[in-house]
Structure 1
Amino acid sequence: MVKLTFGSCGDSFSATSIKAYVSEFIATLLFVFAGVGSAIAYGKLTSDGALDPAGLVAIAIAHAFALFVGVAVAANISGGHLNPAVTFGLAVGGNITILTGIFYWVAQLLGSTAACFLLKFVTHGKAIPTHAVAAGMNEFEGVVMEIIITFALVYTVYATAADPKKGSLGTIAPIAIGFIVGANILAAGPFSGGSMNPARSFGPAVAAGDFAGNWVYWVGPLIGGGLAGLVYGDVFIASYQPVAEHDYA
């Protein structure tokens, strides 16, 4: 059952919440800077920039490491979402209010956009790579791929971080979350791009001025994240006490 709650302005504008928004902005900026930066660096180090198996592995590892660090540094302040799909999935399970979640989204999108413009500046105007569905696939197939891999990500977030009975498992949550993202990029990168994260796709689209197909990276991840929240929340946490906001990391 969906447990969405709107929330109050008092809670969403408290000092603790504002610190959480700043934390999400900084952590998302650092994650996207490293992730997109790895793709730019790979293009610079290769003659034509075409992705090959070695490049895919390198970019997947960069994203996994950067997300592991981003989640870890933000976990005690904001919960370490760094991703509107994660925020939405947690909202579906009642772990964060809609109003606070909206401000998380704003912070995440701004962090991603700032990271991409910084990359454009420090690389002397290098092109910012954007997510796109591979040739030979249609956008509907890309959406389905993004649903599946984002479901895996948000399910992992629930299992290792949001479950009230996680116990000591919570200490490895950032590692597990980073690993599933790296694994999903290896699996989906050559097909849908392996985004799992609307903010990760939005920032490069803004910096590049190219929103072609960007809707795929909103629809797919939000459906996948919401489904993970429903499944894990209803099947495994249905009888638990509600988790306090910001207390799941």
Structure 2
Amino acid sequence: MPIRDISVGRAEEAAHPETLKQALAEFISTLIFVFAGEGSGMAFAKLTAGAAATPAGLVAASVAHAFALFVAVSVGANISGGHVNPAVTFGAFIGGNISLLRGIVYWIAQLAGSSVACLLLKFATGGLETSAFALSADVTVWNALVFEIVMTFGLVYTVYATAIDHKRGNLGIIAPIAIGFIVGANILVGGAFTGASMNPAVSFGPALVSWTWNNHWVYWVGPLIGGGLAGVIYETIFIHHEPASADYQRLSA
């Protein structure tokens, strides 16, 4: 079971130069992703006089997030694993692929990257609001929770299958493409209901800068449950605990 491989890590690990380098990579990757994703919504709203919540706006958000995540994962993959998402980090932790202390450092970097991206957007756009994620009308918090659990499960399961699993073969560039595509597809499914976050960092930055926290817990609880379930299921059923891939050996060292 993956639970046997869960590691808290050593105290000195959090301040180790390699950990800090990986955290910086996560900060930059998350900043790139949120700046492009959140910024695309702000740009669409500006060009359409606030009509971002339209079918065209949904497609634009899907494409922008898919492209941006493909790049963000690619540029971070060889340094930090390219998590760009606390739910991915949590799923990797549950599967024993990263220690708790290193995961916390990743979380701090990801949240900081998202917050800085939103601050930069607010400044660069002359004070436009970085809109926080919100539930659509007639969508309850329980509806939203299920959406976020299922969508994030699909995302983290894809990460395991294409990036973490040592049996994945030479997928190379396919991993970040697949990860970007599943996020883009999920936005087309869930965007009209919850905004389709799948990523607590993506939700945190806009909420912090706009200081809007309505139902914010949904965008943490849902993705963490979905990511954790994906980690447990993939590690338990599909990975036979042979030597981990080089990328993730480095993460859990």
Q: What's the TM-score, normalizing by structure 2?
A: 0.95
Unaligned runs of 5+ in 1: none
Corresponding residue of 1:178: 180
Q: Which deviations, in whole Å up to 9, do the C-alpha atoms of 1:145-193 show, x marking residues without a partner? A: 0000000000000000000111112431011100000000011000111
| CA positional deviation for 1:48 | 3.2
For 1:73 and 1:106, how far apart are their aligned partners in 2? 19
Q: Does 1:63 align with 2:62?
A: no
| CA positional deviation for 1:50 | 4.2
Corresponding residue of 1:117: 119
Correspondent of 2:212 among 210, 213, 216:
210
Greater CA drift, 207-216 or 3-12: 3-12
Q: Which deviations, in whole Å up to 9, do the C-alpha atoms of 1:20-72 show, x marking residues without a partner? A: 00000011001000000001001001123241111110111000000000000
Q: Which amino acid aligns with 1:75?
A: A
Q: Does 1:81 align with 2:106?
A: no
Share of identical aligned residues, percent?
56
| CA positional deviation for 1:240 | 2.5
Correspondent of 1:44 among 37, 43, 46:
46
Corresponding residue of 2:93: 91
Greater CA drift, 238-247 or 86-95: 238-247
| CA positional deviation for 1:246 | 3.8
Q: Does 1:132 align with 2:118?
A: no
For 2:160 and 2:23, how far apart are their aligned partners in 1? 21
| SS of residue in 2 equivalent to 1:59 | helix
| CA positional deviation for 1:120 | 0.3
Q: Which amino acid aligns with 2:42?
A: I
| CA positional deviation for 1:239 | 3.9
For 1:56 and 1:87, how far apart are their aligned partners in 2? 27
For 1:182 and 1:114, how far apart are their aligned partners in 2? 23
For 2:24 and 2:114, how far apart are their aligned partners in 1? 13
- After superposing on structure 2, the runs of 4+ consecutive aligned residues of structure 1 that deviate more than 6 Å are none
Q: Which amino acid aligns with 1:125?
A: G
C-alpha root-mean-square deviation of aligned residues, in Å? 1.4
For 1:48 and 1:16, how far apart are their aligned partners in 2? 44
| CA positional deviation for 1:242 | 4.2
Q: Which amino acid aligns with 2:73?
A: V
What does residue range 159-238 of structure 1 map to in structure 2 within 5 Å?
159-238=161-240
| CA positional deviation for 1:230 | 0.3
| CA positional deviation for 1:112 | 0.2
Q: Which amino acid aligns with 2:128?
A: K
Corresponding residue of 2:242: 240
Q: Which deviations, in whole Å up to 9, do the C-alpha atoms of 1:173-225 show, x marking residues without a partner? A: 01110000000001100011100000000000000011111100000000000
Unaligned runs of 5+ in 2: none
| SS of residue in 2 equivalent to 1:114 | helix
Q: Which deviations, in whole Å up to 9, do the C-alpha atoms of 1:95-140 show, x marking residues without a partner? A: 1000000000000000000000100000000011111111111011
Q: Is the 8 A contact 2:13 2:101 kept in 1?
A: no
Q: Which deviations, in whole Å up to 9, do the C-alpha atoms of 1:69-107 show, x marking residues without a partner? A: 000000000000010000000001111000000000000
For 1:145 and 1:151, how far apart are their aligned partners in 2? 10
Q: Which amino acid aligns with 1:80?
A: G
Q: What's the TM-score, normalizing by structure 1?
A: 0.96
| CA positional deviation for 1:247 | 6.1
Q: Which amino acid aligns with 2:72?
A: G
For 2:238 and 2:172, how far apart are their aligned partners in 1? 16
